[in-house]
């Protein structure tokens, strides 16, 4: 841990929050001299203080330790770069429009890598009125099921959460332009099918 980089990051984040050293110290129940010491690179926060510091400054502990908050490049809202994450503990489904560091239930998640739809992992898509009517024959038991289907266009994502023992059909409103259907299998990961 580079105390100089950590101190500069703490200084920048504290100023961004409009806090004085005393206000940050009071919020953490420590001396403002400790904050000053950190910001001058004369020492680093004790490990026992990192979680509280992280919460107050609203930044990941890992980023504090690295002393760096390098931003992602702007993706201009292009949903074609969408990434899907599924928590193995609670089955939470999380999306991002580009690179992100995602965690859930205390675990870092990695983005699912889509595979081309085929065989049991394929969807039947029909147009009914102004909707896409999607059916599938994939098993929907508690042990093996599709957990979501998402329709992604350049600027929108529509996601439907699926549950075990649910019927094999969903509807999405037809959106302007072409899109991609993504669907997650509880055992075999992410699949994609172009519309």
Please check the confidence at residue 73 and state whether its pLDDT lies above 70. Answer: no
> What integer is the mean pLDDT of 104-132?
91
| Tens digit of each residue's pLDDT (9 = 90 or more) over 10-53 | 999 999 999 999 999 999 999 999 999 999 999 999 999 999 99
> Which residues of the chain are in CATH 2.60.40.730 domains?
79-194
Give the pLDDT of residue 27: 94
Give the pLDDT of residue 76: 46
Does the structural domain 79-194 have CATH classification 2.60.40.730?
yes
Q: Is the dihedral of CA 87, 93, 96, 97 positive or negative?
A: positive
**The pair of three-digit structure tokens given for residue 38, joined into one six-digit string:** 């950190």
Give the pLDDT of residue 74: 55
- How far is Cα 178 from Cα 77, in angstroms, rounded to an integer? 16
34-38, 84-88, 102-106, 136-140: which has the minimum mean pLDDT?
102-106
> What integer is the mean pLDDT of 145-166?
92
Supply φ then ψ for residue 144, to 5 degrees: -155, 115
Would you state the CATH architecture of domain 3-66? Orthogonal Bundle (1.10)
Residue 45 neighbours by CB distance under 10 Å: 23
Distances (CA, A) of 7 to 60, 136, 195: 15, 54, 50
Give, in degrees to the nearest 5, the angle at Cα 151 between 145 and 157: 115
> Which residues of the chain are in CATH 1.10.260.40 domains?
3-66
Kind of pairing between the strands at 93-96 and 83-86:
antiparallel
């Amino acid at each position: 841990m580079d105390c100089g980089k950590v101190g500069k990051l703490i200084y920048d984040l504290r100023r961004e929050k409009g806090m004085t050293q005393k206000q940050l110290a009071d919020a953490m129940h420590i001396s403002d001299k400790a904050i000053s010491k950190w910001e001058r690179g004369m020492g680093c926060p004790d490990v026992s203080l990192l979680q509280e510091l992280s919460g107050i400054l609203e930044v990941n502990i890992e980023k504090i330790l690295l002393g760096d908050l390098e931003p992602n490049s702007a993706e201009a809202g292009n949903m074609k770069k969408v990434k899907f994450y599924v928590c193995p503990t609670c089955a939470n489904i999380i999306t991002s429009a580009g690179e992100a560091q995602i965690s859930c239930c205390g675990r870092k998640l990695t983005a699912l890598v889509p595979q081309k739809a085929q065989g049991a992992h394929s969807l039947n898509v029909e147009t009914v009125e102004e909707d896409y009517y999607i059916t599938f024959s994939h098993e929907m038991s508690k042990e093996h099921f599709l957990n979501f289907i998402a329709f992604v266009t350049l600027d929108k994502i529509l996601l439907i959460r699926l549950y075990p023992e649910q019927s094999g059909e969903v509807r999405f409103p037809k959106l302007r332009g072409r899109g991609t259907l993504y669907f997650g299998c509880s055992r075999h990961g992410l699949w994609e099918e172009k519309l």
